[in-house]
Structures are given as C-alpha cells and as structure tokens.
Amino acid sequence: MAQLGSSSVAGSSLASSSSFFLTGRPLLRSSFSAVRGRETVLIPKKISILSRRLSGLEEAMRIRRLSVNLIIVKYSASPRARELESLNKARKKPPLRRGKLSETLPVPEHILRPPYVTTKLLPEISKEHQIHDEEGIACMKAAGELAARVLDFAGTLVRPSVTTDEIDKAVHKMIIEAGAYPSPLGYGGFPKSVCTSVNECMCHGIPDSRQLEDGDIINIDVTVFLSGYHGDTSKTFLCGNVDERTKRLVKVTEECLYRAISICKDGVSFKKIGKKISELAERYGFNVVERFVGHGVGQVFHSEPIILHHRNNYPGCMVEGETFTIEPILTTGSIECVTWDDGWTTLTADGSMAAQFEHSILITKTGAEILTKY
C-alpha cells in the first residue's frame, strides 16, 4: 500500500499541481482621501482575493467528514445502528499472559507411537495425498470418532477458574485409556497432549496454569493416533458470559467450516474452499487468517493437500477416498500474528479475538463425510 510522505503534507510547493493559489482580478475601493486645494480626491487601493484549491486527498477527507456527520445525525437513533454499536462494543480483555508449565505426562509403553516422537525435529509435510482403501477408511473413522468424543468431553470442562493444564490432563487420560496416543505430544517438541488457544491466541496454545475467566473463548484442538491413523478436530468454546461480538465471531467461524465442507466432493477444486469461507466471513466483517492451513491427514499427521482458507488459486482437485482437514481461523481484527518465544503460541498482532473450528473429512463421489462429527 502506497504511503503519503511527510513532504506531501507539509512544506509542499505552492506551485505544485495538487495544491496551489489562484489570484482573482483586483477590486478597487477607497482606502483613504487626500485634499488637494479644496478638492477631495479618492486614492484607490488594489485588494487581491486569494483562493486555495484543495488537493484531491484534502477534498476527499472534507467530503468524508461531512458525510460521517450526516450519517451520525440520520442513523444514530435507529434500531439497526444501536444493534451494530452493541456488537462492536466487545469487552476489552487484558492481554493473554502465559502461566507455568507442568511436567510432561507419560504414555504407557504398550501404546503405539507415531514415528516423530523419537525426535524433537518438526517433521516436513508429506508430499503424498493420503487416499485410503476400505481398511484404511475404517481406521480413519475409528480415529475420528475417538477424537470427537474426547473433544466433546474436553468442552464440558470449560468454565471460569479451570486451568488449561487441567483440561490437558483430563484429555491425556481419556486418550491413553482408549489405547491411543495424543498426537501433539512430542510433535516438533510440543510439550502437551492438546492445544488450548484462548481469546486472541490463533492456535497452538500450550496448556499451563492460567485459569479461564468469565467471558473467555477457548479453542481446544484434539488429535489422536489410534491403530496407526490420526483423527484431528477442534472447536471453540464459550466460557461464561461472552460479549455479543465475540459470540458472533464464534458462530460465523463454525458456519464457515460447514459451508466449506458442503461443497466438497470428488473432482471439486481445492480453491473453492477458500472462496466459500471468505465470502461468508467478509459478509459479517470478519477476517480469514492466511498463515495457518488445513492438511492431508491419515497415517501421516500432516501431508498434502494444503488447504487454504482464503481466496487463492491453489491447483488440484479432490479425489474419492482421500482425507484432509478444513480448519479456518477468523479474527475480529488483524490477520497478522506474533509467536511467543516458546515457538508455538501464536496470537493476533493487534490483540483481537480469534476463533477456529476443524473437522477431518473423507471425500466421496457425491460429497464429504465428516469423520470427527461432534
């Protein structure tokens, strides 16, 4: 985006094309009289009127100020204006602060682990699309069903005063009791079994000692590794009394996910997902985060295809039997982000609220089957 330099505002030449002075014809008037003998003589004085032509930018700003004033007068008392004002008056919450981390939880030796657990290196995204036979589809359904049950249970724990660490411990216990491995644990050195992203945290929040507060929102991202297959899902939950603007954000984000899933089937272009999500988000004045994407999922945690949630020209089409995630993140403000020095926790750059929903889906000839249905 082009910027106006300071020299174009102050110290610009009077002879510039965008801002100059026009001189009108002189007016004659009697400025004073002189007496010559007995005759009074009027001595004229020239007066010039100077008129400054406004630059295009200045004229636009003047018109904008007038228009805004007229709109305020006309609509300030209307019911719709009051509704919009109410939605935009989200309670200002203090910035997210990190708490203390507890010890990493153990996993019984008999539980099958994904291969990345043996190293702290972040695995590269696999270039292969994950397309399954009947046996593979059955395993994906089992993993997805378990992930959905764990997420539902985690949601029941969301209330003021509960810590995200308590949620992590409960999720960890439920997953290992089902004979599965919590996929985030050890992925690229991630220290916990679930991601808990609160308020302005876009994603990858690490559970800690921070207590949830009334008015918070929290995304809980659950992935399980069961019988060699990953099931991946997430949902944003409301904690206590959440303001209307933030509730609208959460509702629209969830609707974006389902609208995107509704157009998926064999042969459909991947880029249509981003178009569908962007259309709905923009209609409600929210913004779609571009940095984080959906991905292929199956025996490998993250693979092609990369699912972009914003408008894009990503090539390729969906194929029957393949599985991937759709997981849009919407914000009430900036889509730019900052990441804490833990290397994971990523927040909106301006502190605006963020919400996310995610499902793992299976592409069929006629549509898409949700494998992680809540």
Residues belonging to the binding site for substrate are: 204, 302
Amino acid present at 39: E
Number of Cβ atoms within 10 Å of the Cβ of 5: 7
Rounded CA-CA distance 194/27 in Å is: 82
- Binding site residue list: 204, 221, 232, 295, 302, 327, 358
Rounded CA-CA distance 180/144 in Å is: 12
Contact of 308 with 290, CB cutoff 8 Å? yes
Rounded CA-CA distance 247/254 in Å is: 11
Nearest one of 285, 263, 270, 264 to 87, comparing CA atoms: 285
Contact of 203 with 292, CB cutoff 8 Å? yes
- Binding site residue list for a divalent metal cation: 221, 232, 295, 327, 358
**For 276, phi and psi rounded to 5 degrees?**
-65, -45
Rounded CA-CA distance 145/137 in Å is: 12
Contact of 266 with 363, CB cutoff 8 Å? yes
Amino acid present at 254: E
Instruction: Output the CA torsion sign for 81, 82, 86, 87.
Output: negative
For residue 168, give both structure tokens.
Answer: 């992590």
Angle between the N-to-C axes of helices 271-283 and 244-262, in degrees from 0 to 180, rounded to the nearest 10: 150
